[in-house]
Amino acid sequence: MRVLLSINPVHVKNIMKGIKKFEFRRKIFARKNITTVVIYSTMPVGKIVGEFDIEEIFEDEPERLWESTAQGSGISKDFFDAYFDGREKGYALKIGELRIFDEPIVPSDIIEDFTPPQSYMYITGYGKEIRRQQQWNLI
């Protein structure tokens, strides 16, 4: 199953360049069968630009999470600390195979009444629609 994540365009670029090998989250999905992240690049891009397979999900208290993911974090320690400030637990999605769409998708073209999620949105039934509309580059 897929989940759509809203990700800042700066971080999306770093994911595409291979600099950012982990996507950090304060909250993780309730469903355990999530295998793929659909990347929604937030404004000013405002489009679905690709997807990646989740290789592994790390769960730990923030300081220990940083120790195990700093090398591929793609962010500064200060940014990380601010993001997880006041949290007892954090999550890091290890980015597996990355597929970048040749043409980004306007979300409302495939998801009725689309509103960018604050955290995440489960995607069911849209995988075939995305594949029909797009070819992707394997990174």
Report how many domains make up the chain.
1
- Domain extent at residue 100: 2-138
- Dump pLDDT digits (tens) for 78-124: 999 999 999 999 999 999 999 999 999 999 998 889 999 998 999 87
- Dump pLDDT digits (tens) for 37-60: 999 999 999 999 999 999 999 999
Residue 126's pLDDT band (cuts 50, 70, 90)? low
How far, rounded to the nearest angstrom, does the alpha carbon of residue 37 sit from its chain's CA centroid? Answer: 5
Residue 63, domain CATH: 2.30.130.30
Question: Cβ distance 101 to 47 under 8 Å?
Answer: no
